[in-house]
Amino acid sequence: MQGWPGHRHPPVGRSGQELTGNGGCLSRGHHGCDCVQGCRTATDLERSRYRELVESQSELVSLASPEGVLRFVNHAYARHYGLQPHEMEGRNLFDFIPEDSRAAVAEHLRIVCSVSHSVENENQVVLSDGQVRWMAWTNRALFDAQGQVTTIHSVGRDISDRVAAERRLQESEARYRLLADHSTDMVFQLDGDLVRRYVSPSCRDILGYEPEDLIGAQPMAMAHPEDAPIVTLAFQSMLEGRADRRSIINRIRHQDGHWIWVEAQLKALKDPKTSTISGIIGTLRDVSARKAIEDQLQEANRRLQTLAEQDALTGLANRRYFDEALLRAHAHALSQRTNLALLMIDVDRFKSFNDRYGHPSGDECLKRIGGAIKDTIRRAGDVAARYGGEEFAVLLPNADGAEAASVAELIRLAVLHLGIEHEASPNGVATISVGVTWLTHDFPCGPEALVREADRALYRAKERGRNTVVIAHG
């Protein structure tokens, strides 16, 4: 990843735009303003829900760019470092990591950005007063529709006390037993065959079992079938000396039969004389509530991403998504020497429709026409978007002029057959005009030129009396 570690990046502002993307709906002209306001209201509500979720948590929550620039931290996060949120947002997270730990953290984040699931890590951080603390992090990369990493979502907690406790446990077996027996986390010890040799009394509260019920058995027997392979691999990597510490989040069956999410922090036990691995010591805690919150945050992010790319009124792609899709499709067509067709669609006499039937009916008309367009194009890769106001656009990758004209005619007929009453129309119902153009590898042009050609064809369709399809250069 570029910029890791230690490279400073330009500050990122604290606006909701940085957190969620632009959820507004773009329109052309003054039509569809109610839609724009509605979309913004929905986006603001999602942002408010997201902030309410994270600000109510005692755990540290942050959103960072793939390069490590902090875009958002909750108050618990900033308070832990002795700062205010605005003093941290815009800075690089590596500013708060000891120099000798940055390479390891950079490698961890590289792994996070290469997988689609949460990855655990423990590292030291430096607070504003110079104090160094140990932190445990659950990091997950968030991807856009093209599979590119847009954000790293992190949930952390201070584990300095636990790390210190582990060190003390190694120094004295008596102190180890005293601490383990009174810990709210379940402390356990496994031998070289992964058989439990010690389980602290906290197992009663977490798993519903007595310690003697668990001692002498292997933990994999209680793991969820989907999680058992991951748990087994983690234990094996430690016994083989490939990892000194591991953190696992998985499901375990409670004594009453239901599944709970637990987090296990594991450390390999070594013989002080031979340094060979003699077993594993670990702590276990119930994180079911935290996992539910993480799932809610993930769903909130997914909904925000959808709002950023979808027109709230019609459910089609919005102008922002269409512009990005056009650039991608155009670049692909040129590099692969394939065709690319574009349809520009406009609802005929829509101002008269609004004047006669009112804006609510106008919105309903646009929704039905958008639905007819969506139902007509069914190929994978085709994109239908509300371009603005009463105008729509359709991208047809790998389509030539004849195919594009055929699709345009099917859309025109589909809208005509909706039979939406329109007294100002010569047909008595709402109709559309369509301009068609296409790009071939023999006659390439830029994406802006492609839009202009389709617009000119649409204008000629209007001149010819509307409710018709006109092909560019035809």
pLDDT in tens, 8-58: 333 333 333 334 433 333 333 344 444 445 545 555 666 577 777 778 778
Q: What is the pLDDT of residue 386?
A: 94
* Per-residue pLDDT at 279 exceeds 70: yes
d(C-alpha 228, C-alpha 221), whole Å: 8
Q: What is the pLDDT of residue 119?
A: 95
CA atoms within 13 A on the CB side of 332: 14
Q: What is the pLDDT of residue 403?
A: 93
CB 321 within 8 A of CB 309: yes
Mean pLDDT value across residues 90-100:
95
Going by pLDDT thresholds of 50, 70 and 90, the confidence category of residue 445 is: confident
pLDDT in tens, 363-416: 999 999 999 999 999 888 899 999 999 999 999 999 988 999 999 999 999 999
Which is more confident, 156 or 293?
A: 156
Q: What is the pLDDT of residue 8?
A: 35
* Per-residue pLDDT at 426 exceeds 50: yes
Going by pLDDT thresholds of 50, 70 and 90, the confidence category of residue 296 is: confident
Q: What is the pLDDT of residue 101?
A: 94
* Per-residue pLDDT at 297 exceeds 70: yes
Going by pLDDT thresholds of 50, 70 and 90, the confidence category of residue 271 is: confident
Q: What is the pLDDT of residue 47?
A: 58
- CA-to-CA separations, 285 to 124, 183, 191, 218, 360, in angstroms, rounded: 21, 10, 20, 18, 54
* Per-residue pLDDT at 448 exceeds 50: yes
pLDDT in tens, 300-318: 777 766 667 889 899 999 9
pLDDT in tens, 103-144: 999 999 999 999 999 999 999 999 999 999 999 999 999 999
The region of weakest confidence among 22-26, 73-77, 271-275 is 22-26
d(C-alpha 52, C-alpha 74), whole Å: 10
| Residue of 236, 269, 395, 374 lying closest to 313 (CA atoms) | 374
* Per-residue pLDDT at 171 exceeds 90: no
Neighbours of 237 (CB within 10 A): 15
